[in-house]
Structure 1
Amino acid sequence: MIPTHLAIIMDGNGRWATEKGLHRWEGHHKGAQVAENVVRWSSNRKIKYLTLFSFSTENWKRPKEEINAIFSILAEYMKNRTDELIENNVSVKFIGDLEALDENTRKVCLEAERKTSHANGMTLNIALNYGGRAEIMKAAKEWNGIGKFEDHLYTVGQPDPDLLIRTGGEMRISNFMLWQLAYTELYFTKVLWPDFSEEDFDKALSDFSHRKRKFGGIN
């Protein structure tokens, strides 16, 4: 059983770099390479939706140098890999409040969305300046009791995640997709994100395949 929608909290870049005596931004650079691999692995396994937690609304508390590095790495990836995403029939969608981003990062993100919008293979959601509570508040203001609440979430039209993977050893969801994760299966691993391998990826999928999902009912 392969999840239709896989969500990942990519945790451990900074710790990985610190352990190796490197700058934290070098951990994020290595982590971006792993994220690129995961996109490919997911597409190859016919996962329809992949959501990666890239930058949270709380991450603004980090040093400015680290924040700038994260956005720079993301912009570089989008510029250099958009054509490859199109070739692999992957559409990109950014979920979160892009208005708070610098103009260049926001422009690159919107351009990647536009260029990949016709792809109908895997959808890659990149959670950028994203917070679960902020998303629910935004949706509540827009909803006003009319229609479906879910139609006002960033993930409108998408199924909720079947599986959430969090690397780095922490065992919490950290304000990520609070509405959507109501019945999601959770998988935690101590492996730091830059060390997350295809073997680790398949181990998580294998674990999920043996779960019995009841959604509040009985088998």
Structure 2
Amino acid sequence: MLFSRWYEHIPVIYKWYELSMKREILKGPIPQHIAIIMDGNRRYAKRMGEVVEKGHMLGADTTERVIQWCEQLRVRQLTLYSFSTENFQRNEREKKAIFNLIKDKLRKSRESPETHKYKIRINCIGDMDMLPDDMREEIRETHNATGKYDNFFLNVALAYGGRKEIVDGAARIAEKVKAREMNPEEITEDTIDQYLYFDKKQKSSVDLIIRTGGDERTSNFLPWQASGNECAIYISAPYWPEFRKIDFYRAIRAYQNRDRDHKVKYALRVIKIKKRAGQFRKTEVVDCLKSGLSLTAEEADSILKDPHVVRAMKGAAA
């Protein structure tokens, strides 16, 4: 693989490294909603001297592996950017190949014993009216077959555009207001969230966005769900067909580092505020961490042991 390190070509060392990373990330919080921009299928195919359709097929194999990795780590929700509104500009041959591939995967997924064993709900999010009739039929059948499950949510973003999602949601809310079924004063962030594409039985806010292929942009993907949630973004150099488990683990490690940094900064703000008020007590800091960040006493105590927090507390107590 183009982006792998030398030792990752040696199976025994690679496996040891993979297991070592898994043990490391299992010590920290696991993101409950991961979203992935699966970029690089076409570039990978071009590099291999293959047609772009081959790249999409190999990318679909990676998708199946990533779903399994999420299940193994007990991630509750995975959202995959499969086809954007901008992708409709691609040539008819490629679009047909992508749609046929997605239909085949939806069909196999809803018929798979694993889907029903692990109670996986498969949702397709986006502007379904933009899709061909046969695609919409596959989506309906998949929703009907898995809609009762709530153990793991697999969201497939099709004909999806983040700005369009917000506009469509706002239009639906406006219709409710016009029909006097809703008062403008009642509209909150939770209200808007309820009128977006996501299934209303699941949490839509995203903890971690992964983009493969090296491009440092989010491409109009989940702007509402990622904003205001301290969402971590991880850019992975390998193209989607060559995305490996260690790349997945690295992304989760980046999330954990970001999550801890956020908690440490929150603790430092609390200490600063308490010091200015002349009311500094360690127990009050712990209580603020537990209530403000929904932490357990053990988790709050772990944040208090961070060197930056220790120094701040000594300064406040002086």
Same fold (TM over 0.5): yes
* Matching residue within 85, 95, 109 for 2:125: 95
What residue ranges of structure 2 are gaps of 5+ in the alignment?
1-28, 175-183, 268-318
- Runs of 4+ residues deviating >4 angstroms: none
Q: What secondary structure does 2:225 align onto?
A: coil
Q: Distance in 1 between matches of 2:239 and 2:40?
A: 5
Q: Distance in 1 between matches of 2:261 and 2:119?
A: 30
Pick 1 or 2: higher relative contact order, CA cutoff 8 A, min separation 6: 1
* Matching residue within 201, 207, 214 for 1:169: 214
Q: CA deviation at 1:213?
A: 5.6
Q: Distance in 2 between matches of 1:213 and 1:9?
A: 24
* Matching residue within 156, 161, 176 for 1:131: 161
Matched residue type, 2:196? L
Matched, 1:112 2:142: yes
Q: Look up the match of 2:37.
A: 9
Q: CA deviation at 1:202?
A: 1.2
Q: Look up the match of 1:40.
A: 68
Q: CA deviation at 1:218?
A: 2.2
Matched residue type, 2:266? I
Matched, 1:78 2:126: no
Q: CA deviation at 1:206?
A: 1.8
TM-score (norm 1): 0.95
Q: CA deviation at 1:110?
A: 1.3
Q: What secondary structure does 1:53 align onto?
A: strand
Matched, 1:52 2:99: no
Q: Distance in 1 between matches of 2:204 and 2:129?
A: 26
What residue ranges of structure 1 are gaps of 5+ in the alignment?
none
Matched, 1:151 2:194: yes
Q: Distance in 2 between matches of 1:206 and 1:83?
A: 34
User: Deviations 1:29-62 (Å, cap 9, x if unpaired)?
Assistant: 1101111111111111110111000000000111
Q: Distance in 2 between matches of 1:158 and 1:49?
A: 9
* Matching residue within 110, 121, 133 for 2:151: 121
Q: Which has the larger radius of gyration?
A: 2
Q: What secondary structure does 1:179 align onto?
A: helix
Q: Percent identity?
A: 34
Matched, 1:204 2:255: no
User: Deviations 1:110-140 (Å, cap 9, x if unpaired)?
Assistant: 1111101122211001000000010000011
Matched, 1:24 2:52: yes
Q: Distance in 1 between matches of 2:57 and 2:86?
A: 20
Q: Which structure dedicates a bigger proportion of its chain to helix?
A: 2
Q: Distance in 1 between matches of 2:158 and 2:72?
A: 24
TM-score (norm 2): 0.66
Q: Look up the match of 1:214.
A: 262
Change (3 A) 1:83 1:213: farther
Q: CA deviation at 1:88?
A: 2.2
Matched residue type, 2:57? H
Q: CA deviation at 1:63?
A: 1.2
- What's the RMSD between the two structures over aligned residues? 1.5
Matched residue type, 2:162? G
